[in-house]
Each structure stands twice: as C-alpha cells, then as structure tokens.
Amino acid sequence: MVQPSSAMNLRGKVVLVTGASRGIGAAIATAFAREGALVAINHLRNDEAAARTVAACEAAGGDAWAVKADVGSEAQVRDMVDAIVREAGTIDIVVNNAFRPYPFNPEQRSRFDDLQWSDYQAQFDGAVGATFNVCRAVLPQMRRRARGSIVNIVTNLVENPVVPYHDYTTSKGALVTFSRNLASELGPVGVRVNCVAPGLVYPTQGTQGTRESFRESLMAATPLRRLAQPEDVAGPVLFLASDLGGFMTGQVLFVDGGLVMR
C-alpha cells in the first residue's frame, strides 16, 4: 500500500467530490482516500458505479461513502451537505467535478450557427450553476472555521480551443472567472479556491466518441506525446487541496502534457 504523504496533511480530512462515480471524479476520490481522507462520493443516478468508487477508496486505505444528489438542485445540494456534516462533522475540501454530459467528438460538434442561447445556458447551469450551489452550501461552515479548500475542474480549452466546443468551453471559462472572484473574496478568511484544467482525458464517458485519428493528432502536438488519463488529473487536484498548495489561490493548473504553456 502507498503510504500517505505527511506533507499533504490529508489524513482525516473530509472531502466532497462531485460527479465521482466514474472517470476523473472517481480517480480523484480514490487518490484522496489513498492519502487517508474521508471521502463523500457524490453521484446523480448510477448507484453501482458509485459503489465501485467507494470500494476503490476503501481498497486504497481510506474511508468513503456515496451521497446521491443532483448538484444542479439547490435544495438537494443543501440536503447533501447537511447530511455530510452530520455524518463527518465538517467538510474540509470540495472538488467540483460534476458537469452536464457533453460528447467530445470534433466531427459531430455543433457549429456556432447551429447553437441556441439555451445550449449555452444549459452548459452554464451545469458548470457554474452546480458549483455555485455547492459553494453556497459549504462555505458557511468553512468561514466559521476560517479554513477550507475548493478545487474546480475546468478545461485547457479555455486557453487553447483546439476544437471550438462553443457552449461547453464558454461555460468553463465562466467557471474560471467565478473561481477567481471567489478566491479574492475568501482569501482573507482562510478559504482557497483554485482550478485544474485538463486536456482531453481518455478514456472517459465523454471521450468514447473521440476518433482515434484525432486522438493521435492531439498526442503528436503534445510535448509529452500522450493523452491524460483520469489518474493524471488527481495529483494536481490533491496538490492544490493540500498543505503543499497552501499559499496558492485563484490559480489554474493546466494538466495537458504541455499543450498549453503559460
């Protein structure tokens, strides 16, 4: 078993990861568990997948349990957060990973002329709206304790729209700005807010339709010559959430093998 890092100081921390039943969220939850954290696995409907993530967390040496809630619903999020605090006493770290499903298929993407404002609004609600609901629910107890860390998952497309997924990328760009405003306001009370921006992550449910030829061309343009796997995203999230990133807030870490450099 991998020994937890004392420098991260995550043992015993209570972590909420949204959209954690599979893919990137599951990898992040498992990585926190490996460091000795107590992890709440938020999911929308897939009970079996959430149970597998809980089992993976326990196998990694941590404790975890599943919490079903639609993060797009203010009432459900409030009930979820209240239940976690009753169960665990507090919430130290939040990772906002859930988003409205989106197919990353360059050949079948919607062109600007095909989109309606409602498409943008739906993605905005799924990215910024869900994060807003979660932050509104968790921040009162973080403020009271004068500490906490929030990590929001965005995308490297906000800097390099190699494929113009207009509605999706616009919503994630808004989430970056949302995060920085929150970081500016909450810094004086000891709460940090950062973002992790992956490139194309394969395999996930959203990238199943991404053609091999496109994946190969993207790898060829990437200095590290491969695509990210879900586990690649987890490390930077843990860094930002932990004591190792304790003097960082309002930042965006790009996790794309060097495709975006800044």
Q: Catalytic residue positions? A: 168
Single out the residue of 127, 2, 139 nearest to residue 62, CA to CA. 2
- Cβ burial of 103 (10 Å; 0-12, 13-18, 19+) is middle
Q: Measured at the alpha carbon of residue 94, what is the angle toward residues 128 and 204, in degrees to the nearest 5?
A: 70
For 59, the 3-state DSSP assignment is helix
Task: Give CA–CA dist 70/183, Å, rounded.
Answer: 25
Question: According to DSSP H, which parts of the chain are helical?
Answer: 23-34, 47-59, 74-88, 117-124, 130-145, 166-186, 212-221, 230-241
